[in-house]
Amino acid sequence: MFTRIDHIGIAVRSLEEAVATLARTGGVVVGARESVPANQVEAIMVAAGDAPIEFIQPTSPESTVATFLEKRGEGLHHVAYRVDDIDAALAACVAQGFRAIDAKPRHGYAGSRVAFLHPKGFNGVLTELVERPAGKDVPPYELEHS
Is residue 54 part of the contact set for Co ion (CB under 5 A)? Answer: yes
Residue count of the chain: 146
Q: Residue of minimal CB distance from Co ion?
A: 9
Q: Does 9 bind Co ion (CB under 5 A)?
A: yes
Pick the stretch among 31-39, 52-60, 95-103, 134-142 that binds Co ion (CB under 5 A): 52-60
131 binds Co ion (CB under 5 A): no
Residue 9 vs 105, nearer CB to Co ion: 9
Could you say whether residue 80 binds Co ion (CB under 5 A)?
yes
Q: In the sheet where 127-131 sits, what is the strand order? A: 106-107, 113-117, 127-131, 75-82, 4-11, 51-58, 41-48, 29-36, 144-145
Residues forming the site for Co ion (CB under 5 A): 9, 54, 80, 128
